[in-house]
Amino acid sequence: MKTPSDKNYIVAVCLSAIFGVLGIHHFYLGRYIEGIIDLSMAILAFYLYINGLVLWAVLVFIIDSLHTFIITILLLTGSFKDGKGFYICYPGQKLT
């Protein structure tokens, strides 16, 4: 049996859609390792850009953005778990 999370679906989706490349949604959901990785990638992209390595900065940013896009889709479909392994359910989602 799948168990629903106590985390708010709307908050999780909005954080992922707006601040996803910074990993804020992962911190909210209790997935701290993933949050640190996302935040580190954003900082790395900024650092590379500032130091003139624009191509590398764009590559890192694209990878981070694709990851965020996938996580947002998983959240929207109710297929993503929080840090405790519980599903972030959309309103009315039936867990079997």
pLDDT in tens, 3-48: 888 899 999 999 999 998 999 999 999 999 999 999 999 999 999 9
For the chain, which residues make up each domain, given as ranges?
A: 9-76
pTM of the model: 0.85
Would you state the pLDDT for residue 93?
Answer: 80
Question: How many whole angstroms separate alpha carbon 14 and alpha carbon 16?
Answer: 5
The answer on pLDDT for 95 being more than 80 is: no
Residues 59-82 pLDDT 10s: 999 999 999 999 999 999 988 999
- Mean local confidence (pLDDT), 84-94: 86
Angle (deg, nearest 10), helices 54-76 and 9-19: 160
